[in-house]
Structure 1
Amino acid sequence: METPGLWNIAAHEPDRVALVDPTGATVTYGELVARADRYGRGLQAMGLRPGDAVVMLLPNSADLVAFYFAAFETGLYIVAVNWHLTGPEIAYILKDSEAKGFVAGAEFAAAARQAADEAELPASARFSVGDIEGFRPLSELGAGEVGAPDVRTSGGPMLYTSGTTGRPKGVRRPLTGADPYDVPLASSGFFALFGLKPFDDHVHICGSPLYHTAVLNFVAISIQLGHKVVLMDRWEPEEMLRLIQEHRVTHSHMVPTQFHRLLALPEDVRSSYDVSSLRNMIHGAAPCPLEIKRRMLDWWGPVVTEYYAATEGGGTMISGGQWLSKPGSVGLPWPNSVVKVLGDDGAELPVGERGQVYMRMGGSSFEYHHAPEKTREARVGDLFTLGDIGYLDEDGYLFLCDRKSDMIISGGVNIYPAEIEGELVVHPGVEDVAVFGVPHEDWGEEIKAVVQPVDGVVADDALTADIMAFAAERLAKFKLPKSIDYVAALPRDPNGKLYKRKLRDPYWQSRTTAI
């Protein structure tokens, strides 16, 4: 019987394909392990020891995956950095994580140099894929070394939350001390939630940046379980369909904005690709509008699965079939996961009553690195919260309303922008939309919508009137936007995360702003 685990598979099937690089080049398990071992030996030769941290600023690539597994097998914390950050923002993470090594792609040379200099990182700890002045080529790390690193113990990701409020927080868990050659039960168990077994002819496609927690986990676990991984560096809807057909893809991790763009393809384009190989297309990270979800289920069938979870641990899941009977829900708690809805006083709320959602994963612990106060603020007892508002129904299914920080209070009424956004985004002229509160003299706040029109659609008074009429048929009067502004593009990262504060702040910086 085949034994899962990157190094186990490489030992028995070195020619098995582990991943397909965005360039189309294939990397076998044997090749991936050879590179990971070489980098791992190089890191140890630099003096890095279990518990130290390394930082990656890389595009989706085989180099990123090999470096990840090198750090993983040598007991290091791996920090994958959002490459949209500026040099000073990256420098903060280098310093906060106490990084002993830094590898960056030439695409991000300016920010990488600035960050390394500001963090006073020694030249010996700087590596690059491609040319960056003052950085050594990653290919030199462990050059001439062969075989497994001398010290082998499991490391783990230390990923920084997006930092939409204040500085980003590094989520750091105690290292397990486990043998990295063994697949952690938490990894295989997590995939088992979605019916994803080891081997079984599975192929995973990754179209989102690997600096995201779930995206990195899905790729790493897929490889550990013998699933071929197809990497995309820049996600394009038709290219994804082409790759699904070519590689007989079975599963992926996606976000609702990708669904929206897929559905925007002409019907003849969508129907020209064979997606019958799909078994479980998993999405999370952002609320999915009900109509978008229904259309994806109509197209791909019940293989569309939703989950709600956090870097910090714990979560819920709902299959396509369950969702059709509980539309809008994000599902039931995972086995070993606890989900509760609490009031502002920390007391558990009854069925159907909205409050802050708290979670716990059995036996899991974490802390925000160098931020004990942030750890305390997120917790009630052994439960933690992401700041989301929701409720549980009589069957224990969780429904999310919005982020507490995004909730609008107008005339004393709580209004949840996510619900409004979910209706407006299906208007044929709307490519993307954000809804938030802006100052109002009498009501405290009123509802503002900021719309990114579909390419070719003119942002004028006629479009505003049409969107308002469309909304009036679908939303109660108190939920209707009082005004609509237009932008060329909403500030989202490639994984669909909306930086709403960037839109909202200008309206609050001056209360004389015309609205």
Structure 2
Amino acid sequence: MSIYERGLQRRDANHVALSPIDFLVRASEVYGGLPAVVYGRVNRTWGETFERCVRLASALASLGIKRGDTVAVMLPNIPAMVETHFGVPMAGAVLNALNTRLEAASILYMIEHGEAKVLIVDTEFAAIADRVRERFPEIKIICVRDFESDIDHGAMPNDTEYEDFIASGDSNFEYLGPEGEWDAIALNYTSGTKGNPKRVVYHHRGAYLCAISNALEWDLEKHPSYLWTLPMFHCYGWTFPWAVAARAGINVCLRRVDAKVIFDLIRRYRVTHYCGAPIVHSTIANAPEEWRAGIEHKVKAMVAGAAPGPTVIARMAEIGFDLLHVYGLTEVYGPAAVCAKQQARTHVNNAERVVLNARQGVRYHLQAGTTVRDPHTMEEVPKDGQTIGEVMFRGNITMKGYLKNEKATEEALAGGWYRTGDLGVLFPDGYVKPKDRSKDIIISGGENISSIEVEDAIYSHPAVAVVAVVAQPDAKWGEVPCAFVERRPGQQASESDIIAHCKSLLAGFKVPKAVRFCELPKTFPRKIQKFALRQQIGSAAAISQFQPYSFIKVGG
């Protein structure tokens, strides 16, 4: 035994499990009188927010919620959504934030699979809540009325109202922290029921470290003013509810993205930071100049997904918005790589700078590694910016695994790295740039769309014999689904027929924006060649002779 081990074991005095909930506790202790959440007439301090979160935890505990139970929430970016990020884990439970844009069938699946005991839901989604109540009468439903929005969706008389539920909690409820930092803190579902949805589980340690990394990567100063343009159901707002608490900042809540409202809030609360998909930044960059009147301070913006076009990047700089490009996936808590800007690049021309800043970059501070490797040999690809391999991550900012799917967990984490399924290249300076998605996921306006789910919907049309769905570039959304269809002999169906059929089965953002009728290219034994379809529509994701698991050169 080493001399450094004898009598120097881990104790309560020198080791406490890392948890992002401690950020709230400290913010209330040190900056309890400073603003924490603003929304319409709501203006709460960190002290008040802490008390409400404690009461929420107490009220959940009074329902019998305990360690490892799931509490589902279906809420826009309103104060209650911020509070659930703390109050639910304070009860020892696991937070399951549901995508408010999904159709009822997907929500029901997620609630059943995650074994939710409670659903906290905005009254805007009362119809889905009714379906949940009918299907799962044992689930306790807590309804949130948003009195600050322009539309009052009315009460849900059969359910407890959130404010009454909060009031029923004990402000002296004692939060003891997780039993261990490996305890689950959140559960994510990222696509619909027919598209083999991911069931990603986060732990307290990862959420803590990702939040700190966000603060470090973005130089998040003390008391920032953060605008919630990014849905908090997306990877828990990329862990920013916890990061903002760590810096005792202001959560400026926003129910829905509206460019004019965004500028009004930036002006009113002197917003310093916001995140979003490329479409959000494009909307802001192209807004009328008069909407920006009076905004003279620097605003920092973070973008994930495909890099915005050069015009948008230039326009953002022109209006005083500093754009930072990050990359990640649900399995790594949202962003876990960043296009770290180098001082040496300040002297290159704008066109070259745009190209350099479009690369997704290098590992986050507290992520152990980001690289591109051959998925068979696990050897790192040459740093030539051309040889394609699979993008991989390893470290603390990586999921526990997939809920109830040990096989998928083993496959995703085999070899000591998380295998993203994204294909990419590695540059001489160590920066990574993804090139394609081997899993056929379409990212539209920041939303993941399973091509399989859309294909299943189209296959159910009686006139369809064969269908394939791929990503089509779109100026507004980045990507949209495009369907290629072969009709059954003697059957007729128009583009509008297929689209109308999809609208009856899918959430609106999943419906194809274009339908093409043709004989689909196939290999033996009649496997559809999606790469050829991508080439036909000029998809940015198309790579000549797509070979997902071998070294290939771009264009070679």
1:120, CA displacement in angstroms? 4.0
5+ residue gaps, structure 2: 1-21, 146-154, 179-183, 346-352, 443-469, 487-494, 522-536, 538-556
1:228, CA displacement in angstroms? 0.8
TM-score by structure 2 length? 0.69
Equivalent position to 1:146, from 162, 170, 178: 170
For 1:375, what is the secondary structure of its paired residue? helix
What is the alpha-carbon distance in structure 2 between the residues aligned to residue 286 and residue 367 of structure 1?
25
Q: Within 5 Å, which residues of 2 pair with 1:409-424?
A: 421=473
Other-structure match for 2:247: 225
For 1:191, what is the secondary structure of its paired residue? helix
Structure 1 residues 392 and 435 mapped into 2: Cα distance closer, same or farther (>3 Å)?
A: farther
Other-structure match for 2:191: 162
Q: Within 5 Å, which residues of 2 pair with 1:417-432?
A: 421=473, 425=475
Other-structure match for 1:472: none
- Is structure 2 residue 364 aligned with structure 1 residue 334? yes
Structure 1 residues 299 and 354 mapped into 2: Cα distance closer, same or farther (>3 Å)?
A: farther
Other-structure match for 1:481: none
Is the contact between residue 92 and residue 119 of structure 1 (CA under 8 Å) also seen in structure 2?
Answer: no
Structure 1 residues 299 and 510 mapped into 2: Cα distance closer, same or farther (>3 Å)?
A: same
What is the alpha-carbon distance in structure 2 between the residues aligned to residue 510 and residue 31 of structure 1?
62
What is the alpha-carbon distance in structure 2 between the residues aligned to residue 138 and residue 159 of structure 1?
23
Equivalent position to 2:330, from 311, 317, 326: 311
Q: Within 5 Å, which residues of 2 pair with 1:22-171?
A: 23-122=40-139, 125-130=140-145, 131-141=155-165, 143-154=167-178, 156-163=185-192, 166-171=195-200
Equivalent position to 1:6, from 16, 24, 47: 24
What is the alpha-carbon distance in structure 1 between the residues aligned to residue 324 and residue 118 of structure 2?
37
For 2:197, what is the secondary structure of its paired residue? coil
CA deviation profile, 1:219-272 (whole Å, cap 9, x unmatched): 332023200111111111122122112211111112210121122223x32652
For 2:433, what is the secondary structure of its paired residue? strand
Is the contact between residue 341 and residue 357 of structure 2 (CA under 8 Å) also seen in structure 1?
Answer: no
Equivalent AA in structure 1 for residue 201 of structure 2:
R
What is the alpha-carbon distance in structure 2 between the residues aligned to residue 509 and residue 53 of structure 1?
46
Equivalent AA in structure 2 for residue 397 of structure 1:
Y
Is the contact between residue 102 and residue 192 of structure 2 (CA under 8 Å) also seen in structure 1?
Answer: no
CA RMSD, 1 decimal: 3.7
For 2:311, what is the secondary structure of its paired residue? helix
For 1:50, what is the secondary structure of its paired residue? coil
Other-structure match for 1:205: 227
For 2:302, what is the secondary structure of its paired residue? strand
Deviates more, 1:338-347 or 1:100-109: 338-347
- Is structure 2 residue 394 aligned with structure 1 residue 360? yes
CA deviation profile, 1:311-332 (whole Å, cap 9, x unmatched): 2127210145665471421111
1:77, CA displacement in angstroms? 0.7
Is the contact between residue 237 and residue 262 of structure 1 (CA under 8 Å) also seen in structure 2?
Answer: yes
Aligned residues: 432
- Is structure 2 residue 290 aligned with structure 1 residue 269? yes
What is the alpha-carbon distance in structure 1 between the residues aligned to residue 164 and residue 142 of structure 2?
9
1:44, CA displacement in angstroms? 1.0
1:174, CA displacement in angstroms? 4.5
- Is structure 2 residue 38 aligned with structure 1 residue 20? yes
5+ residue gaps, structure 1: 409-416, 441-449, 451-486, 492-496
Other-structure match for 1:392: 426
What is the alpha-carbon distance in structure 2 between the residues aligned to residue 159 and residue 436 of structure 1?
26
For 2:142, what is the secondary structure of its paired residue? strand
1:393, CA displacement in angstroms? 0.8
What is the alpha-carbon distance in structure 2 between the residues aligned to residue 51 and residue 121 of structure 1?
18
Is the contact between residue 70 and residue 117 of structure 2 (CA under 8 Å) also seen in structure 1?
Answer: yes
What is the alpha-carbon distance in structure 2 between the residues aligned to residue 152 and residue 55 of structure 1?
22
- Is structure 2 residue 310 aligned with structure 1 residue 293? no
Is the contact between residue 372 and residue 389 of structure 2 (CA under 8 Å) also seen in structure 1?
Answer: yes
What is the alpha-carbon distance in structure 2 between the residues aligned to residue 54 and residue 509 of structure 1?
46
Other-structure match for 1:284: 304
CA deviation profile, 1:22-65 (whole Å, cap 9, x unmatched): x2421122221221111111111111112211000112211222
What is the alpha-carbon distance in structure 1 between the residues aligned to residue 514 and residue 408 of structure 2?
23
What is the alpha-carbon distance in structure 1 between the residues aligned to residue 305 and residue 52 of structure 2?
32
Structure 1 residues 222 and 295 mapped into 2: Cα distance closer, same or farther (>3 Å)?
A: same
1:116, CA displacement in angstroms? 3.4
Other-structure match for 1:402: 436
CA deviation profile, 1:58-116 (whole Å, cap 9, x unmatched): 12211222233111222211001111222332121111111121111111001112023
Deviates more, 1:72-81 or 1:138-147: 138-147
Other-structure match for 1:465: none
Equivalent AA in structure 2 for residue 331 of structure 1:
G
What is the alpha-carbon distance in structure 2 between the residues aligned to residue 216 and residue 148 of structure 1?
30
What is the alpha-carbon distance in structure 1 between the residues aligned to residue 284 and residue 320 of structure 2?
11
Structure 1 residues 333 and 186 mapped into 2: Cα distance closer, same or farther (>3 Å)?
A: closer
CA deviation profile, 1:194-236 (whole Å, cap 9, x unmatched): 2114x2x411111232211152621332023200111111111
Other-structure match for 1:247: 269
Deviates more, 1:155-164 or 1:44-53: 155-164
Equivalent position to 2:219, from 182, 195, 199: 195
What is the alpha-carbon distance in structure 1 between the residues aligned to residue 131 and residue 518 of structure 2?
30
1:350, CA displacement in angstroms? 2.0
What is the alpha-carbon distance in structure 2 between the residues aligned to residue 498 and residue 259 of structure 1?
22
- Is structure 2 residue 259 aligned with structure 1 residue 259? no
What is the percent sequence identity of the aligned residues? 21
